[in-house]
Structure 1
């Protein structure tokens, strides 16, 4: 979880324009949630060194596996021009040098992401990175992000790397360990499939190339591999091959049509390419599919698995190099009764599944081959319900050094086992949540009440938690109601046991009177959803910025729209020391309410674009504002503002308990000061 970051950034005095002190240091730790809580869309093991593996996430960066099954975050750095590197579109390892790892970094190909993509290269297991900049965008959080891997290192010549781009940008190649890149002009199949043509969000762009893989036996060490396979998101011809080290390319004859290639893995011992197919790249919706096998010597395609029109298709696929013919593949989107995984020991001639469905009605309907272990994430059953295997299973990997060990990513966590071959003995194996340390959920709101738990959080996808101990996974999500994506959370200043949260569902406003232990839906939440909710100091008023307006309710009576503030997108804040004081910002306009949010008066439009409002929790009317021009301060409830300190740009600002004897709170900000973008603290802002 990105509430605390693994890299200590410089600290500075926010309120004085003198030299910045960069000598103070913090030891940062992630708040433990017990599971990733978000989409793990790629897992890759090193074939060179035992125990080396990496997992990529859509918005949370790259993680490296540790010996105790935990994960180390490799991209918990902060910079206002590097935030999009937390989106990882692909990952590749050098098969002959375990210290070398590469990622394709970028979050969106849409207009709202201003930054082009980069290939990041590391020679020290991801501890440090060098960057190669591309002239177009990558999309780690775009549709089809669990396809792949679209980045691959030549197993015979590690200086050669291929990258398959999105957006119709084609195939790219580096011959110098990722330092420089050039488009492969002879490769023209760009993968033209679009999930939802015309969509302006995640599903309106060309998916592009889905995987790149090599036949390691096609040349000798030190010479570029001659046989290369490239998969595309294109229903007419999906798999292309070069047999002259990438000079020329052609679609492999006889391949299935009407489906997209998802994952391709080559078996050198069988001289065969395994390919999983699905008829869509929609991250959240399935489709029909197959698994095929292409024998390069006989040039024949053989269908080895069919979902029989059940509408889920196939996604993550892995081979066991220690057990010739052992292959596993996950269903792309099987929502009922659970996601499934298929396993074959004979190259796909016969299969068993991780669970079977009993139609007789005598046994429990789903007969599992595993015992489910979520002891590291006790809240997970509340999210998954009766689904134990998971969903959105786009990546599955068998440890090349240990046939007992496998991992796969889902939309909520990583599952895996160290007793995999029990499956073949008809003995249940332990299927465990194995994502400790991978706290990659999108954090959408936090509050730290002065009494009760140290932290209450709300997040995307899995709701959020009451954190009674920051070093121990929370036991339960926020429940009754539970919303997948929860937008905001706030506690009342003088009655911190009263808490409000808003979420993406009809009736998306809930209240708690016991600091988040129990909840009930606001009596007049109606059908509204989302937005940002705040409580007055006594907890009797709720101000809800929703539906392009600001609405107020007292004691759960019907909401009334604030009449004298223009429609728009708002940032709201409350004064925790005065029941009537509320603040709001829309674009560059700052508003003040003295009647518990019932009406507002604009006080200024001259301090820059307002990103966040921070309020002194110990003194009335002491307000701080983060804007694109820096940090601004008011001691008269926002009637007037003065520039505070040397920050030239600020994204977040909040105040907390004093770190000194001054009695004035410490101020925390994400800002740019003297050219350094990072997290700052000041203890010198005594007015």
Structure 2
């Protein structure tokens, strides 16, 4: 039986309960992910929407920026609503917009898809649940808009489903839908049968109305539907307002709509064909042939003001770059946006500006031949402005306002026009007290550093580079040396550990890592001499003083890990429901039997940034708290918050610390905050959607009181600032110790370098700790060391601090040498 510790616990001063916080995006800028479709309103100038695969729907603003409009729909229960498989607008009412929402059609997403409808440009929404799933992040998501509103009858809406579910129709403006039994081709193409992701039928790919056709029974008579079928037919037409359907004769059956693959990753050959609806004939107008045709085609934009003018883009021309073609004679002749000069030089018929997201140039454009992008499937010319065009890539949105200059001087101005689109999947966050304000590890784009809170509104000049990995999976800092940072990458084949000594501004490869280990999470010791790495493929690894990473045999693979932020020797870990602790800089770990009673799995571990002995654990049963380095735990927030996910400390009022936790509380499954060690919890999320809370990352600011960051799986990083509530009068509490059984040999060896003096009686065989400095004893003589207590109500110890530190009050009950 273990003994309880003697510990001084710091509680935040009480504050009134406040409303949920007001959230906004950290401005990483530039988009950061794949935009599958862009739709302009045909008659209302400036009305347009961009849909993303995991980041929701965005509305275009007059200044070329974008506003996210589907955040409120992406709740924990409906997290798939950030996947947008199609968007449609009402040609007769520019305030109305519709979206098909749902992220996956496989088991990853448990929810059916919905058709969302808005009559105020996305400010508010109503939804209709479909009897099947929708796949905004599934293969084939960029082939076209599979949702469309009849331009002659706003009550009629068609939706082309995936997974063999066919064509669906609404006759009441999207309130209800019914299957169209007369349309029988369900789009049976499967990329890889049996594969968990690529193994589903891709279904119907687009629906478009011929607005010039006659009206039949109050509806547009001619309708085209595309299918993922390159064997039977990929394009069907109805000339009787959807009563019957036939395959368009003469179509090129070797292709899906726009490619020999369905995109956005595949497609190595393609063509462009023009269909004459009057004569019922097809003409091949592909702008390349022979050895020059080594790619498929993606985006295709038509100028509605100048008939016969169009722009087309390659889908995935991986070398040397994407190509864009323009024709002003219906595809009879084409011109390119770049051509070979004196090889390998290229003649660029465009200028490219990246001031809206300078990191795109620093990390991608200047580092690669692919300046114009890849995965280009959305390309549109403003139907009311021949000079305005937009096209999207797997990284960002490009566009400009002088497109017709292509026809005269053959030189256009391209800019990154994705301001406001924040589509990154955040893998890890950190906010070191006394260090950089925010470190964000992200998928696809490496990661970013924001040195101060004032930088949060300015896009970074550079991503994390040297090394730059596709994805950084985690980041951590050294508690006693906040400028020392470590991050982990997910690109096998090279060392996937990097360190920084300047707060994440510059980086160096840590050559102690091998070239086959990758991914996972990382913990940095307080003095930055030991890295503990729970890798994705090689178990838990350890390196000290840049020695070669070696396996930590005492921990299971994929263990959750954390470092004590003040005591350099202490690390924590958990696997399943077991809690482990190391007091020898992660050389070995010992399981603490029965530490987390009732828990079946551990989700996260958070060590207090300043109190060395305090550690919190998030579990399936809720939160557990220890004030003795994990030797014993008590349940926290019982009856108030349960089934918790990621947790974090953050600087609170008066230099106290708040605790933030994703979990289930009075307001449902969302983000809560406590300023009184879990006695009371406030809903700080409100109506802001963060998607699945299990996929979110949270960190409280270590430098700005009340500021908090949430990393999402698709909408980048949000932040907010406000006072966190406390329950009743909060005072410093002294927890008295119990006596160990006489049969247990004990030793008092756990001393700290922090503000709380934690003296613990524990079995001598369990604790072996070396400390860098000890807290001052509670005597009236001597000098208190750095981080030690030096004052407060009832304090009898030294009030003088060693040079150059000063005794600074934290609250009425505690002063500290800082």
TM-score, normalised by the number of residues in structure 2: 0.77
Q: Does 1:41 align with 2:41?
A: no
The answer for the alignment partner of 1:348 in structure 2 is 331
Give yes or no for the alignment of 1:213 onto 2:193. no
Q: Distance in 2 between matches of 1:84 and 1:149?
A: 18
* Residue matched to 1:370: 350
Shift in alpha-carbon separation, 1:165–1:343, aligned structure 2, 3 A: same
**C-alpha displacement at 1:43, in angstroms?**
0.9
Q: 1:427 Cα shift?
A: 4.2
Contact kept in structure 2, 1:376 and 1:433, CA below 8 Å? yes
Q: Structure 1 CA distance, aligned partners of 2:109 and 2:631?
A: 35
Q: Partners in 1 of 2:615 and 2:447 — Cα distance?
A: 28
Identify the match of residue 492 of structure 1 among 447, 461, 478.
478
Q: Any idea what the Cα deviations from partners look like across 1:581-626, whole Å, max 9, x if unmatched?
A: 2222323333222222222233345324322222211111322233
Aligned residue for 2:585? 596
Report the count of equivalent residues: 649
Q: Deviations over 1:605-655 (max 9, x none)?
A: 532432222221111132223333333322233333333220133222100
Partner secondary structure for residue 218 of structure 1: coil
- Structure 2 partner of 1:549: 539
- Asked whether 1:621 is paired with 2:602, we answer no
Q: Secondary structure at the match of 1:650?
A: coil
Higher relative contact order (CA 8 A, sep 6+): 2
Q: For the residues of structure 1 that align with 2:223 and 2:465, how far apart are their CA atoms?
A: 50
Deviation at 1:336, TM superposition (A): 1.5
The residue matched to 1:648 in structure 2 has which SS?
Answer: coil
Is the CA contact 1:461–1:484 (under 8 Å) kept in the aligned structure 2? Answer: yes
Listed as ranges, the matches of 1:270-419 within 5 Å are 277-305=258-286, 307-308=288-289, 310-358=293-341, 360-361=342-343, 365-381=345-361, 382-384=363-365, 385-419=368-402
Post-superposition offset of 1:155? 0.7
Higher deviation after alignment, 537-546 or 380-389: 380-389
For 1:93-132, list aligned pairs within 5 A. 93-132=89-128
**Aligned-residue offset at 1:186:** 1.4
The answer as to whether partners of 1:383 and 1:462 remain within 8 angstroms in 2 is no
SS for the counterpart of 2:390 is strand
1:168 alignment partner in structure 2 = 164
Q: 1:656 offset after TM fit, Å?
A: 1.0
Structure 1 match to 2:406: 423
Check conservation: 2:114, 2:127, Cα contact below 8 A.
yes
Distance 1:418 1:489, change over 3 A: same
Residues 407 and 416 in structure 1, CA contact (< 8 A), matched pair in contact too: yes
1:30 matches 2:13: no
Matched, 1:72 2:60: no
User: Which of 464, 472, 480 is the aligned partner of 1:478?
Assistant: 464
- What's the CA shift for 1:51? 0.8
1:636 aligns with 2:628: yes
Contact 1:288 1:307 in 2 (8 A): no
Equivalent of residue 524 in structure 1, options 509, 512, 526: 512
The aligned counterpart of 2:727 is: none
Q: Deviations over 1:303-339 (max 9, x none)?
A: 1115436331111112111111111111111111211
1:29-78 deviation per Cα after TM superposition (whole angstroms, max 9, x unaligned): 21111311111121111113111111111111111111111111113345
2:551 to 558, 561, 564: 561
Indicate how the Cα distance of structure 1 residues 175 and 637 shifts in structure 2: closer, same or farther if over 3 A, else same.
Answer: farther
In structure 2, distance between residues paired with 1:599 and 1:635: 21
Residue in structure 2 matching 1:669, options 661, 682, 688:
661
Q: Kindly indicate whether residue 652 of structure 2 is the aligned counterpart of residue 658 of structure 1.
A: yes
Superposed displacement of residue 553, structure 1:
0.7
The alpha carbon displacement at 1:165 in A equals 1.3
Which has the larger Rg?
2
Matched, 1:577 2:566: yes
Match of 1:3 in 2: none
Deviations 1:279-298 (A, max 9, x none): 11242233100111111221
Q: Distance in 2 between matches of 1:76 and 1:314?
A: 32
8 Å CA contact 1:87, 1:105 repeated in 2: yes
**What is the distance in 2 between the residues matched to 1:449 and 1:59?**
29
Using the alignment, how far apart are the partners of 2:621 and 2:117 within structure 1? Answer: 34
SS of 2:643's equivalent?
Answer: strand
In the alignment, is the contact (CA less than 8 A) between 1:316 and 1:394 conserved in 2?
Answer: yes
CA distance in 2: counterparts of 1:341 and 1:135, whole angstroms = 40
1:221 & 1:413 partners in 2: Cα distance? 41
- Length-normalised TM-score, structure 1: 0.91
- In structure 1, the residue matched to 2:756 is none
**Residue 386 of structure 1, CA deviation:** 2.8
Q: Structure 1, residues 124-182: CA drift from partner, whole Å, max 9, x if none?
A: 11111111112222111112222211111111111111111112221111111111111
Compared with structure 1, are the counterparts of its residues 217 and 21 closer, same or farther at alpha carbon in structure 2 (3 Å cutoff)? Answer: farther
In the TM superposition, what is the alpha-carbon distance from 1:453 to its structure 2 partner? 2.5
State the SS of the aligned residue for 1:27.
coil
SS in 1 for 2:81: helix
Name the CA distance, whole Å, in 1 between partners of 2:70 and 2:330. Answer: 38
Deviation at 1:221, TM superposition (A): 9.5
**d(CA) in 1 for partners of 2:602 and 2:95?**
43
Partners in 1 of 2:556 and 2:23 — Cα distance? 41
State which drifts further: 69-78 or 164-173. Answer: 69-78
**Quick one: distance in 2 between partners of 1:581 and 1:221?**
76
- Distance in 1 between residues matched to 2:420 and 2:162, nearest whole Å: 30
Deviation for aligned residue 1:187 = 1.1
1:245-282 Cα distance to aligned partner (Å, 9 max, x none): 11111111110011111xxxxxxxxxxxxxxx211124
Contact 2:31–2:396 (8 Å) recurs in 1: yes
Structure 1 position 681 matched with structure 2 position 673: yes
Runs of 4 or more off by more than 6 Å in structure 1? none
Q: Are the equivalent residues in 2 in contact too, given 1:195–1:282 (CA < 8 A)?
A: no
CA RMSD in angstroms, aligned pairs only? 2.1
Residue of structure 1 in register with 2:238 after alignment:
242
The answer to whether the Cα contact below 8 Å between 2:287 and 2:331 also exists between their aligned partners in 1 is no
Instruction: Find the aligned partners of 1:586 and 1:94 in 2 and give their Cα distance.
Output: 52
Structure 1 stretches of 5 or more lacking a match?
Answer: 1-14, 262-276
Aligned partner of residue 290 in structure 1, secondary structure: coil
1:229 has 2:224 as partner: yes
Q: Counterpart in 1 of 2:47?
A: 52
Say if 1:156 and 1:219, in contact at 8 Å, map to a contact too.
no
Change (3 A) 1:628 1:28: same
Whole-Å separation in 1 of the counterparts to 2:575 and 2:44 = 53
Q: Which residue does the alignment assign to 1:534?
A: 523
Aligned positions of 1:131-142 closer than 5 A: 131-142=127-138
Please tell me whether residue 457 in structure 1 is matched to residue 440 in structure 2: yes
SS of alignment partner, residue 613 of structure 2: coil
In 2, the alpha carbon distance for the partners of 1:313 and 1:399 equals 24
Q: Which residue of 1 aligns with 2:690?
A: none
Give, in whole Å, the separation in 2 of the partners of 1:285 and 1:95: 33
Alignment partners' CA distance in 1, 2:156 and 2:622: 45
State the shift of 1:23 in Å.
4.5
| Gapped regions of structure 2 (runs ≥ 5) | 1-10, 678-729, 734-818
Report the Cα distance in structure 2 between the residues aligned to 1:421 and 1:22, rounded to whole angstroms: 57
Mean Cα displacement is larger for which, 288-297 or 639-648? Answer: 639-648
Q: Contact 2:354/2:416 (CA < 8 Å) preserved in 1?
A: yes
Q: Is the 8 A contact 1:156 1:222 kept in 2?
A: no
Q: Name the SS of the counterpart of 1:379 in structure 2.
A: helix
